[in-house]
Homo-oligomer: A and B are copies of this chain.
């Protein structure tokens, strides 16, 4: 048995923020996706390009080079490549520069809402468009973006972001406290593109987070969603006026490294300038606890040569993530499905 490492390359992943790429100027950015080194650069015309980070000539990383006009120049012999990977100039050479073997494999790029997305399959025409962050520009909403890196597989990191039972233990006292013995119901709805879990009967969280979110208490509408290829979406509505939408878009950097671009949009009774200073350190502490566990989980999986996971019915969303990713990787579709699970909180 091996670690769950589906590689759904025919999909969009974030490699950088627009700001990072702009700030880099004529220096390209070295990135990694599915364990493959990539180089990201912005031509003088503003267009972003993404190539395999290896010069076809002598296999030096192109990320050591610099941007010259709209092309990326290799630091070793000065070969120049455009955003399609075509070699447009070879210094000292009397003949033509272009040639089949002289191409650098290229990825399609889209720049949207402040993020630079690439389509994970080399030299292919994308069959879809990147995810849109729904509330990023909506009136009344505040949006905060952050990125962090976790030492876990894509599947483990996604499951961690969407798993409810661990919060009572790992994040003891932050999200939740010890169980109060209340049985709630989780309604699971899976399609070929996503899985949604709706929690019915959930009381206001009793920890610090709950007190900040809803000082007056009240029932909670809570959805956890996995959206192909790598998005963990958590949505909370508390009362009429409070709405929180967290999109954690994950980049499978390599087998055991996952980068998370989190976009948090919220509309709250409490003004953002009060909420933010309280929530951000809290979120970072929660993430640090998760990151530590994911890293130690990865070590154990590597040491034993694979995952040996034993699930129960309350491991609601993990198996769906794996099933959808494997089907997507194989170009197949999964049938719609729904069921209900009891959960003690």
Seen from chain A, the residues whose Cβ lies within 8 Å of a Cβ on chain B are 37, 53-54, 56-61, 64, 73-78, 90-95, 99, 101-102, 156, 163-166, 168-170, 179, 183, 293, 296-297, 299-301, 303-304, 307-315, 342-345
CB distance from A235 to the nearest CB of B (A): 21
Q: Which residue of B lies closest to A318 (CB)?
A: B58
Q: Which residue of B lies closest to A53 (CB)?
A: B300
* 25 sample A-B contacts, Cβ–Cβ < 8 Å, listed by A number: A53-B300, A54-B308, A57-B309, A59-B300, A59-B307, A60-B293, A60-B297, A60-B300, A64-B293, A75-B169, A75-B170, A76-B166, A76-B293, A77-B163, A77-B166, A78-B165, A78-B169, A91-B165, A91-B179, A92-B168, A92-B314, A92-B344, A93-B313, A94-B343, A95-B312
- List, in ascending order, chain B residues with CB within 8 A of A37's CB: 300, 303
Instruction: Known A-B contacts: A37-B300, A37-B303. Give 4 more (CB < 8 A).
Output: A58-B297, A78-B165, A92-B343, A92-B345
- List, in ascending order, chain B residues with CB within 8 A of A310's CB: 56-57, 99, 101-102
- List, in ascending order, chain B residues with CB within 8 A of A303's CB: 37
CB distance from A18 to the nearest CB of B (A): 27
Given A308-B56, A345-B92: A61 in contact with B169 (beta carbons within 8 A): no
- List, in ascending order, chain B residues with CB within 8 A of A296's CB: 60-61, 64
A304 near B54 with CB under 8 A, answer yes
Contact check: which of B76, B77, B164, B307 meets A92 at CB < 8 Å? B164
A77 near B165 with CB under 8 A, answer yes
- List, in ascending order, chain B residues with CB within 8 A of A53's CB: 300
Q: How far is the CA of A101 from the CA of B1 in the complex (A)?
A: 15
B311 near A57 with CB under 8 A, answer yes
Q: How far is the CA of A37 from the CA of B345 in the complex (A)?
A: 32
Q: How far is the CA of A95 from the CA of B308 in the complex (A)?
A: 22
- List, in ascending order, chain B residues with CB within 8 A of A308's CB: 54, 56, 59
Q: How far is the CA of A328 from the CA of B296 in the complex (A)?
A: 35
Closest 4 CB pairs of A and B: A78-B169, A92-B165, A101-B310, A56-B310
A92 near B300 with CB under 8 A, answer no
- List, in ascending order, chain B residues with CB within 8 A of A179's CB: 91-92
Q: How far is the CA of A344 from the CA of B92 in the complex (A)?
A: 4
CB distance from A34 to the nearest CB of B (A): 13
A314 near B93 with CB under 8 A, answer yes
A312 near B183 with CB under 8 A, answer no
- List, in ascending order, chain B residues with CB within 8 A of A101's CB: 310
Q: How far is the CA of A310 from the CA of B101 in the complex (A)?
A: 6
Q: How far is the CA of A179 from the CA of B312 in the complex (A)?
A: 68
- List, in ascending order, chain B residues with CB within 8 A of A170's CB: 75-77
- List, in ascending order, chain B residues with CB within 8 A of A315's CB: 57
Q: How far is the CA of A90 from the CA of B311 in the complex (A)?
A: 11
B301 near A59 with CB under 8 A, answer yes
Q: Which residue of B lies closest to A299 (CB)?
A: B61
Given A92-B179, A314-B93: A300 in contact with B54 (beta carbons within 8 A): yes
